């Protein structure tokens, strides 16, 4: 009975603004868990809406964001983060009073502030599900994307407590684990957790591909080393999504890139100086760091 | 019958010099496939030999490399690459005439040359199995480590053809796919395939761990982002093994580190200049590069 009690009342009409891999997967999960009766979708790319209709991810396609949110009791902002402020301004006058609203963007500080200013903060709960996102496009959407993954919630001090509870219950209903993080800490945390690893993966894919023809002549794609495969996995992520994340979180990402390059330059100098002892210490600390991070 | 025909005759006495994760796993695989009757092991760390005896990975522990190779019809050099030249010199006078010999090191050029000068080249077949190696120590050895993975063979032009065939058959018998690569190409290829990704993973683990306490306070180890988990996975690898690889393959690794840092600095400059169009192009090329590398 405890679990049933935490299941929120279903939403009659969910507006999904931005129909991609992350938002499409959430729509599927909400329908599968019985939490959404009808999902109304809008995407600036009409092809995404058409595909989502065909796949049953949305039940209605709207011709504008404002039309999508009309009569919706839940609004999900699922567009790339640099588009969220414009979206919020566009829909502000059409929101149903009391409608719940959250975004699922990877940057919070400036974006969440802008959305809050546009829509009012009391029923807006900034969310950031930490789920694998190296895929892109609604064609890749799956209902279990959020299952077993954390979702970071960053409510403002003045956000309605009932709204926070309903959003947490929603994430639990799709199998995610909600975690509350003060909004001012979010962007620094994810810069280290996610944005720096993505920057590294993108740069590594570009650097390695310059030998790509030579590599593939020796080893077919399926058998390339697992070290290169794993370190570059997230380089398959959406360029639109990551352009926006890097641009919106520059103040946190740039110092981390510098810190990382500094580490790599230390390694480089030790190799060049043939410094076996220093190199051994440096690598041992790296292994300890990896173990501490994941304790596995 | 074709498969049976490719199974080489069993080795009566296999000498394993260096009893770690890679060599221990190979010994287990050779015994499981019936290819090795007795494995005689030597490691400069007596604890490794004791553990290998307890686990049945070796049947005899030798007190010196020379003692280990006496009467052996197969000698496997499985120590870190900087130790191979010294090992080869130590055993040269004790090798049985006609005994097959191969190493499993990740660097070939200077190492293989030194071993060849010490032991003579006709029955020495440089090998490099490309198998996941972020674990270390004989305690982690498993019989199926090489299953489904490629093994690069770099015979010299004058290597005995029968010796090459026997070594290829041995790798096939443990489930690996042998691939021949000209020895002068090996070190450049693996620098891009494996050594650069490892350098990046080690540096990233060190950089991210500086925020480690803060990160773990928010997200327990098991739930940290998969992007950080995958990009740093191989940072758990052996410091001894990787110290030697980086030092022995510096001429190939250093220019790749520079190329990679150049890519990352391009990203950094685009973020700082708020260059949305340039960033989008750069990220799109990175995604294409990842797809070309792995075609999946």
Phi-psi region of B100 (alpha: psi -120 to 50; beta: other; left: phi over 0): beta
Query: Hey, is the C-beta of B217 within 8 angstroms of any chain A C-beta?
Result: no
Query: Hey, is the C-beta of A273 within 8 angstroms of any chain B C-beta?
Result: no
Looking at residue B46, its pLDDT comes to 94
Query: Hey, is the C-beta of A176 within 8 angstroms of any chain B C-beta?
Result: no
CA distances to A57, B21, B188 from B205, rounded to whole Å, are: 38, 22, 25
What is the three-class DSSP state of B39? strand
What is the three-class DSSP state of B180? strand
Q: Are B226 and A132 in contact (CB under 8 A)?
A: yes
Complex ipTM over 0.90: no
Give the residue, B132 or A166, on which the prediction is more confident: A166
Distance CA A124, CA B125 (A): 66
Interface test with A, best of B294, B295, B296 (most A CBs within 10 A): B294
pLDDT digits (tens, 9 = 90+) for A180-217: 999 999 999 999 989 999 999 999 999 998 887 777 77
pLDDT digits (tens, 9 = 90+) for A40-68: 999 999 999 999 999 999 999 999 999 99
Backbone angles phi, psi at A124, to 5 degrees: -105, 120
Distance CA A238, CA A253 (A): 18
Q: List every span in chain B annotated with CATH 3.40.50.720.
A: 2-182
- Chain B residues in contact with A252 by the CB 8 A cut-off are none
C-beta atoms of A242 and B283 within 8 A: yes
Nearest to A252 by CA among A188, A189, A185: A188
CA geometry: angle at B271 spanning B267 and B275, to 5°? 100
CA distances to B2, B38, B72, B184 from B11, rounded to whole Å, are: 20, 8, 8, 30
Query: Hey, is the C-beta of A97 within 8 angstroms of any chain B C-beta?
Result: no
CB crowding B203-219: b at 16 or more within 10 Å, else e: bbbbbbbebbeebbebb
Task: Please provide the CATH number assigned to the domain covering A2-182.
Answer: 3.40.50.720
Query: Hey, is the C-beta of B257 within 8 angstroms of any chain A C-beta?
Result: yes
C-beta atoms of A236 and B290 within 8 A: yes
Query: Hey, is the C-beta of A135 within 8 angstroms of any chain B C-beta?
Result: no
Backbone angles phi, psi at B190, to 5 degrees: -75, -20
Fold of the domain built from segment(s) A186-294: 6-phosphogluconate dehydrogenase C-terminal fold (1.10.3660)
Of A193, A243, A267, the CB nearest to B225: A193
Looking at residue B221, its pLDDT comes to 58
Query: Hey, is the C-beta of B147 within 8 angstroms of any chain A C-beta?
Result: no
pLDDT digits (tens, 9 = 90+) for A199-208: 999 999 999 9
Integer-rounded Cα Rg, in Å, for chain A is 21
C-beta atoms of B218 and A189 within 8 A: yes
C-beta atoms of B293 and A246 within 8 A: no
pLDDT digits (tens, 9 = 90+) for A23-42: 999 999 999 999 999 999 99
User: Looking at CA atoms only, how far is residue B182 from chain A in angstroms?
Assistant: 10
Of B210, B264, B283, the CB nearest to A261: B264
Q: Are B24 and B47 in contact (CB under 8 A)?
A: no
What is the three-class DSSP state of A167? helix
Of B207, B223, B259, the CB nearest to A150: B223
pLDDT digits (tens, 9 = 90+) for A227-253: 999 999 999 999 999 999 999 999 999
Looking at residue B6, its pLDDT comes to 60
Residues of chain B with pLDDT under 70: 1-6, 133, 220-224, 296
Torsion of CA B195, B250, B247, A196, to 10 degrees: -40
Q: Are B76 and B105 in contact (CB under 8 A)?
A: no
Looking at residue B5, its pLDDT comes to 47
C-beta atoms of A227 and B201 within 8 A: yes
User: Looking at CA atoms only, how far is residue A200 from chain B in angstroms?
Assistant: 7
Looking at residue A2, its pLDDT comes to 41
CA distances to B39, B108, B129, B147, B171 from B26, rounded to whole Å, are: 11, 19, 10, 10, 9
C-beta atoms of A203 and B267 within 8 A: yes
User: Looking at CA atoms only, how far is residue A129 from chain B in angstroms?
Assistant: 10
CB interface of B with A, residues 185-214, below 8 Å: 185, 188-189, 192-194, 196-212, 214
Q: Is the pTM of this model over 0.90?
A: no
pLDDT digits (tens, 9 = 90+) for B85-115: 999 999 999 999 999 999 999 999 999 999 9
Distance CA A197, CA A199 (A): 6
Which residue in this structure is represented by tokens 């807006």? A124
Task: Provide the CB-side half-sphere exposure for B116 (13 A, CA).
Answer: 18
- Judged against a pLDDT cut of 60, whether residue A14 lies above it is answered with yes
Distance CA A79, CA A103 (A): 8
In this prediction, residue A1 has a pLDDT band, given cuts at 50, 70 and 90, of very low
DSSP H helices in chain B:
2-6, 21-32, 46-54, 65-69, 84-91, 109-119, 161-173, 183-190, 196-209, 212-218, 226-232, 239-248, 250-272, 276-294
Q: List every span in chain A annotated with CATH 1.10.3660.10.
A: 186-294
Q: Are A100 and A73 in contact (CB under 8 A)?
A: yes
């Amino acid at each position: 009975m405890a679990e049933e009690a935490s299941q929120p009342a279903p939403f009659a009409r969910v507006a999904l603004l931005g129909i991609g891999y992350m938002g499409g997967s959430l729509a599927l999960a909400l329908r599968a868990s019985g939490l959404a009766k009808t999902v109304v979708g809008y995407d600036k790319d009409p092809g995404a809406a058409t595909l989502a209709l065909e796949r049953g991810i949305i039940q209605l396609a709207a011709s504008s964001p404002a039309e999508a949110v009309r009569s919706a009791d839940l609004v999900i902002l699922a567009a790339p983060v640099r588009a969220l402020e414009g979206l919020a301004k566009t829909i502000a006058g059409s929101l149903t009073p009391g409608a719940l609203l959250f975004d699922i963007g990877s940057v919070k500080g400036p974006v969440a502030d802008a959305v809050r200013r546009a829509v009012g903060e009391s029923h807006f709960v900034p969310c950031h599900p930490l789920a694998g996102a190296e895929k892109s496009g609604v064609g890749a959407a799956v209902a279990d994307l959020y299952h077993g993954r954390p979702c970071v919630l960053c409510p403002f001090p003045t956000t309605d407590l009932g709204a926070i509870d309903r959003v947490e219950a929603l994430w639990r209903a799709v199998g995610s684990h909600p975690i509350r993080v003060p909004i001012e800490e979010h962007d620094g945390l994810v810069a280290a957790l996610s944005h720096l690893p993505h920057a590294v993966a993108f740069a590594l894919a570009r650097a390695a591909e310059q030998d790509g023809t030579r590599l593939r002549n020796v080893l077919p794609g399926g058998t390339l080393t697992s070290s290169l495969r794993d370190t570059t996995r997230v380089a398959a992520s959406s360029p639109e999504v990551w352009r926006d994340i890097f641009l919106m979180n520059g103040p946190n990402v740039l110092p981390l890139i510098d810190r990382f390059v500094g580490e790599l330059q230390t390694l480089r100098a030790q190799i060049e100086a043939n410094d076996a002892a220093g190199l051994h210490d440096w690598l041992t600390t790296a292994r300890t760091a990896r173990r501490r991070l994941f304790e596995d």
